[in-house]
Structure 1
Amino acid sequence: MKKRNWTVIICAALLICMLAPVELLAALPPRVVWEYSTTQSFVGFVSLTPHGTLLIAENGPYEPKVRELGPQGEVLWEYGPVQANSAVMLAGGNVLIADSGAPGYPLKPRVMEVDGQGQVRWSYEFSHRGDSPRLAVAAAEGRFLVVLPDRVVEIDRQGKVYWHYEGLLYPVWAERLPDGNTLIVDRGFYGGQVLEVDPSGTVVWSYGDYGAPGQTGILSRPVWATRLPDGSTLVSDRGRACLLKITGETAEVVNQWSEVLSSVPVADRWVALPDLDRGRVYLSVTLSSGRSVLWLVDREIRTLVWGEPVRFQVPPVLLEEGLYGGARELVELLGGRVTWQADTKELEILHRDRQAVLRADSREALVDGEKVHLAPPKIFGGTALVPLEFLRDYFGLEYRWDPEARELDLTP
């Protein structure tokens, strides 16, 4: 028998695994209604354009670029190579890019404006390599707010500084408010803070703290903020996977996506940008398989029990085959109990004198020994989800669903 070269075989197998990572997801996670995927880069920044398309910054060692995506994820425009930290569309349709100056191209951090033909209309290069711009957005006419590693500056196209605020730990976002103040998100290292700074450099309002080693603060890696017409501040907190509405010192969770992230093997989180018009959130993550995805996550279902708002540990979700909820929480709400057999993927529900046995991804179940048909139960992130219709038909869980308001009222 011919002797095999096992070293070559093992190396070849490893190479195949690296070039074609195995993706374990059979379907999109709950609430995810759209996906853009890449294996050669990750989406490090997302912004919405005035006409409803997306600008994304794809970063990584292979062909980094800025792309404009249409509704189906089709590429409408692109510019590269560029390791962009941000890309936003200006009023005239050109794109303002904060180029990190990361090794590869063009070796200098800069802010630039690129037109629809891919021509650079102007650029300003920072003299120090440490001044890698993290964000560039329009401020006053002909001026731009630029977030640098330790400060926020307002500059013109020649780099003249008109305003600055220093002493920040890890700033990631800035927005000029109508009254001339500036809203700044400082992610820090353990917690995070949102600041409102007036033209004199005085902090007139803030929320959050910077935490401490091993302990996060009130916020956990905030990445975005905006001021709403009612005077409150909307903050996207990447670490806590939620959208907060802050009024004074009071914070209210208005959306969250923790169950989306817990349902898949996530290696890194990059972006959490709300789409305020539709109440959805764009999430950019890298999965443990190496595949990076940009997801559009539908807004959370507002859940009530007997007309009173409640927040379940596993919030109800609307999947292709109907409304689903966490099996244990819903059955216990009815006064029953649930047991789970991991080896057979079977779920047993006991409530009063009724017994049901369901199997994950199966359209058949046994209710008191009789075979019945149902929308298949799902397993996401180790949690069993069951169709509400099944619990209504066989265990008496009444509910009212308002699809426009995305409101679910349960009557156990």
Structure 2
Amino acid sequence: MSARTKHLEATRRRVLVGVAGAGAQWLVGCTLRGFGESAGDDGDAPRAPGEGTSAPRGEPVCVDAVRGGTLLSVLPFVDEGDLPFDTPTGQGLDGRLYTDLARLEYGARTVDNDRFYIRTRYPDRLDPSKAWEIRVRGLVSAPATFDLDSVTRDARPMGAVLLECSGNSRGGHFGLLSAAEWGGVPLMPWLRDRVSFASGATRVLVSGFDDHSLPSARSVAGASWVFTFAQLEAAGAFLATTMNGAPLPRDHGAPVRLVVPGWYGCTNIKWVDEIALVGDDEPSTLHMREFASRTHQSGTPALARDFFAASIDQTAMPVRVEKWRLPDGVRYRVVGIMWGGDRPLDRLRLRVGGAAPEEVHVCPAPATNRTWTWWSHVIAPPPAGRAALTLEIPDGAVRTRRLDSRFYAREVTFDGA
């Protein structure tokens, strides 16, 4: 049995355990402890299809289309490689961990720290025993150095935030995508409370330790990004020191990293050790140039001011396709997530193969787009054979570049039963 086949069987067993635990009335979105991830520090996961006959606090009642059914199998996505899930591999700039999103419980807000995706592992040249310092320089009245306590003493919960690597792709099962509950301090207020900005300061250059002894075949060392003040404030950017209630793990930027909600992971600098106030003539960094195409820039600008915000467009994808036996026959349920964009959305359409797109069930409606939103859709058995699952936002005013290019299209093989 291949590693991929073993993984699918394990996923099916986890779902079946959830069914049994719910007394054969497993509900989409039901918070079944022991299956998938927890709901996070904010309490239970949102109510979802079929959970109860009434909803508290004015929440809408959602309908479960597979109540009382029997789960037969979980279909594998095809042509997505055979990379391992939930296991760190490689070192340094080439270190990776791909999160198995199929394991997530419907409604889960976060992923456990040991399963949160990794793109670049802890630098082996970084001495963890050395006292951490953050240097602030550039267009300030006087350069200054701050210890870690200057961040941690004012840290507070910052909520659930999703991160996605700009290089997230089908070959890695789209597993460079995760969400966590973070704690830290808002960056711009922290800076303004500690240094005086000099005339001409319009941007912030955030840099992190990125020195590795092993060379990379694909990446350039030196993690840094330039932001305008307005970009950092609008996104609610913060210096993070905790992750899911625990100190930052080494591979996730310990002891302090930048989190910029809604921006690609390459801008969320890990191991932050320097912050510079700069002006409009600041060159783009090598790191920015490396990720220019993956963050949808126009060419590779030489100046940081010519970079667009590296924000994630509204997008969506399926994470699991389940085969169910219902009283009226076999049905398939597609379960997925939607994320990105500049505001919460609750409308989404799914196309299976060449069929017309159908509205999916997004319930409950999202209150935030800082993390993912769950959706599901039940379909009759399509014709036997391979079919692509693609999604679209029925709102022409919403930018959806990756959805438009079918970037997150996933394929399964239906048996026609």
TM-score normalised by structure 2 residue count: 0.27
* TM superposition score normalised by structure 1: 0.27
Q: Give the strand-richer structure, 1 or 2.
A: 1
Q: Structure with the greater relative contact order (CA < 8 A, sep ≥ 6): 1 or 2?
A: 2
